[in-house]
Amino acid sequence: MNTQVTLGPSGKPAALARAWLWLNLLALIGSGLLALLLVLSRTPGIQDIFPLKEFFRAALVVHVDLSVAIWFMAFAGVIWTALGNANLAWMGWSGFVLAALGTAVMTVSPFFPGAEPVLNNYIPVLQQPLFFAALWICGAGFALTVLRALFTTWPSPFLAQPLRLAAFLGAIAAFLALAAIFWSWSVVPRIEEKIYYEVLFWGGGHVLQFQHALLMVVAWFWIADYLGRPPMVSPRALSVLFLVAALPLLAVPVFYLAVPPGSLTHMELFAKLMIWGHPYMGPLILLAALSLWSVRGVPSSPPKSAFVASFILFALGGILGYMIKGANVVIPAHYHGTTVGVTLAFMGLVYVLLPVLGYAKADGRMALWQPYVYGAGQLIHVLGLAWSGGYGVQRKVAGAEQALTTLPQKIGMGMMGLGGLIAIIGGLMFVLVCLKIMSARNTR
């Protein structure tokens, strides 16, 4: 299976992919700066020196939106551009410009008056006109990007290009997610703010998880192929497995047609979709595990490091998802594991794509160890949260509100703080490696 893209460094698709890559990098920089403040605001001892309790919630909103919504959607733009054809370039560039403008506005919005945070799931918001303007602008940009992906990533022959098919299925998931959010916005009455935004993004937020998971597996197999260890099945068989993994998406329009958005039944159905839908990816995960095992003898490289760290974190996050009981910090332990698994897969794919897009190859010790440092920090962070959740530490609180009264609680949250700081160092390493390479582009 050949997954190598053939974009020349001066071609229009490559230029668009490079633009999306820059937006990813800038979103990570902003998210990382906010993450440092978030970790300090929850770490025992330090939280008393830096009284950031009032800033915690506003920073959390923008941190989550930059590190999940913007980073994941912008990197989807990289994948769709790299695997798709060159048609509808105007739509691709229009989508990018709007997404970049919306991201810039979102980043500065907390510094303007009236930034009242609402910590709902998936896309938390600031109760402020400027922030909502940023959401609409980003939404318009990503909508154009998704529409273009639906036209440009259609594989032909249909089952002969599994990664392109997976990218197309990811675009379908994104389209359904955006449609679900817009549908909910048009029919759900305005109620108490936190409940309203929870309902607004509930269906679409769940559907986006399928997009992220599908594109993460694309990154895994792309990296494996780059390392000379492609999946041990035929392209046709791999395409069928991607189709099986996407089958739960068929339930999304049924849920919206059968049950009013915002109802308890509607929310329960999407929660069950996560529980019963993601196991359809089981065969792909198993195949990825076999690919991971097969690369053990391959010389060390940044993509290999990212593949190893990504698989471990995603597997841990998936296991923790089935251990959630109550509204404690096991929940963020679960989604930090899974989302960091996706992030590491995308980081590894960045290392693969840099030379393809006209940049120099990522090598050297920093690039080699960066995924392990970031992954190890997040592993400690996740295990600390999971430990603390078992002792009743609640989520979405900071400072004294955490009520850390027992030694096990303090140990767990101390692990969380230590792991978070290590992960920030790992994230900074990634940014430095990419900035050094991308600011001195090789156009040979």
Alpha-carbon torsion (304, 307, 309, 315), positive or negative: negative
Q: Find where tokens 């910590």 sit.
A: 119
Provide the pLDDT for residue 72.
Answer: 95
Residue 117 has phi, psi (to 5 degrees) of: -80, 145
Each of the 444 residues of the chain gets a pLDDT tens digit; together they read 555 455 545 556 789 999 999 999 999 888 877 777 666 665 665 555 554 555 667 777 888 899 889 999 999 999 999 999 989 999 999 999 999 999 999 988 887 878 888 888 889 999 989 999 999 999 999 999 999 999 999 988 888 899 999 999 999 999 999 999 999 999 988 877 778 999 999 999 999 999 999 999 999 999 999 999 988 899 999 999 999 999 999 999 999 999 999 899 999 999 899 889 989 999 999 999 999 999 988 999 999 999 999 999 999 888 887 766 655 566 777 777 888 999 999 999 999 999 999 899 998 899 999 999 999 999 998 888 777 665 455 554 444 444 455 666 667 767 877 888 898 899 999 999 999 999 886 544
Q: What is the pLDDT of residue 342?
A: 95
**Residue 231 neighbours by CB under 8 Å, 6+ apart:** 1, 221, 224, 225, 238, 287, 288, 290, 291
Alpha carbon 112 to chain centroid, angstroms: 27
Indicate the DSSP class of residue 191: -
**What is the per-residue pLDDT for 340?**
92
Would you give the DSSP letter of residue 394? B
What confidence score (pLDDT) does residue 391 get?
47
The per-residue pLDDT for 405 is 53
* Dist. CA 300–CA 285, nearest whole Å: 22
Cβ 164 vs Cβ 215: under 8 Å: no
Q: Which residues lie across from 280 on neighbouring strands?
A: none
Burial class for 411, CB neighbours closer than 10 Å (0-12, 13-18, 19+)? middle
HSE-CB at 130 with a 13 A cutoff on CA atoms is: 16
pLDDT at 184: 94
Q: Kindly indicate whether the domain formed by 298-444 is annotated with CATH number 1.20.120.
A: yes
Question: Tokens 């995603």 label which residue?
Answer: 314
Give the pLDDT of residue 374.
95
Strand partners, 116: 127
What are 2's two structure tokens? 């050949």
Provide the pLDDT for residue 403: 46
The per-residue pLDDT for 25 is 93
pLDDT at 397: 47
| pTM, entire model | 0.89
Total residues found in the chain within this entry: 444
Q: How far apart are CA 281 and CA 286, in angstroms?
A: 9
Classified as helix, coil or strand, 42 is: coil
* pLDDT the model gives residue 399: 44
Q: Which long-range contacts (CB under 8 A, 24 or more apart) does 124-132 make?
A: 124/60, 124/61, 124/64, 124/65, 124/197, 125/61, 125/197, 126/58, 126/61, 126/62, 127/193, 130/105, 131/105, 131/106
Angle (CA) 215-217-222 rounded to 5° is 95
**Please, is 325 exposed, middle or buried when counting C-beta atoms within 10 Å of its C-beta (0-12, 13-18, 19+)?**
exposed
